[in-house]
Amino acid sequence: AIFNTSFIWVLNIFFRLAVALICAVVFAQSHLRGKQFFKAVYYFPNLVTSSSIAVFAYLALDYQNGFVNQILTKLGLQEKIDWLHTPILAQSAVAAIIWWMWFGYAAILLTTGILSIPGDVIEASIVDGANSWKRFWKITMPLLRPIFTYVFITSFIGGLQNFEIPALLTDGRGAPDKSLLTMVMQLYNLNFKNFQYGYSATYAVALFIIIASVSALTFRIINGRENNRGKGGVV
């Protein structure tokens, strides 16, 4: 369960943050028409319940009647793909769904962070001759680090709490071959299906310790870098 949870999270988190950051830069620094419309579209999945998204995904990826296989068949695919009963494909499908659900949320937060950067700082860097690439890495990213850290940690916590999508796409026990059995699904099964209350309580405490430890470690690393940068600036 720990491996499955981590693997599904890794499959989507880096691509999610990368796309969200690109969208944030475009939204914050360009005069693209329809920006508000695209923001609304990207954020829309956050307004839909996970159960509704899971049902839609099941209908889309069903082996016999799913419209994804129907489209691929019309495009020339000889054999249908069993998305939900092939371990790596099922994990990839869940990762893609989670990416779609949450990258808009990350993009909105990062856009807000970029827009909060003081304009005089950007103008001063332009006067000093810094190009767009240097401004992004030397000014935007350092000032965006607190929000980026927040997005990363909340994404990590959400990844460890992954439950609804894999549970509703499978039999509730993580089929196929338990490849979609996440930590929270394991906790749910221990408590409500196997009635192992003591074991499930221990499991819940362990899950809390993992989340708290990684979050504290991330904050410590970020704060350490900020302190080192501050000391370097003083010198």
* Domains within the chain, CATH numbers bracketed: 2-234 (1.10.3720.10)
Q: Which letter does DSSP use for residue 48 in this model?
A: S
Residue in this structure with the two tokens 């307004």, named with its chain if needed? 47
Please answer whether residues 12 and 99 qualify as being in contact, where contact means their C-beta atoms are separated by less than 8 angstroms: yes
| Residue 199 pLDDT greater than 50, yes or no | yes
Q: How many residues does the chain have?
A: 235
pLDDT of residue 20: 92
Of residues 235 and 189, more confidence is placed in: 189
Alpha helices in the chain (DSSP H): 2-29, 35-43, 50-61, 67-74, 87-115, 119-127, 132-135, 141-160, 164-169, 183-188, 197-234
What is the rounded distance in angstroms from the CA atom of residue 8 to the CA atom of residue 13?
Answer: 9
**Percent above pLDDT 70 for the chain:** 94
pLDDT of residue 234: 36
pLDDT of residue 60: 92
Question: 122 is written with which tokens?
Answer: 């950007």
Calculate helix-pair angle for 2-29, 87-115, nearest 10 degrees.
40
Q: Which letter does DSSP use for residue 78 in this model?
A: S
Confidence of residue 200 (pLDDT cuts 50, 70, 90): confident
Q: What is the mean pLDDT of the chain?
A: 84
Confidence of residue 235 (pLDDT cuts 50, 70, 90): very low
Tell me the whole-structure pTM to 2 decimals. 0.82
pLDDT of residue 109: 92
- Residues 90-115, mean pLDDT to the nearest whole number: 91
Residue in this structure with the two tokens 């068949």, named with its chain if needed? 73
Confidence of residue 88 (pLDDT cuts 50, 70, 90): very high
What is the rounded distance in angstroms from the CA atom of residue 28 to the CA atom of residue 36?
Answer: 11
| Residue 15 pLDDT greater than 50, yes or no | yes
Q: What is the dihedral of CA 152, 186, 98, 43, to 10 degrees?
A: -80
- Residues 151-162, mean pLDDT to the nearest whole number: 86
Residue in this structure with the two tokens 């949870």, named with its chain if needed? 5
- Residues 100-113, mean pLDDT to the nearest whole number: 90
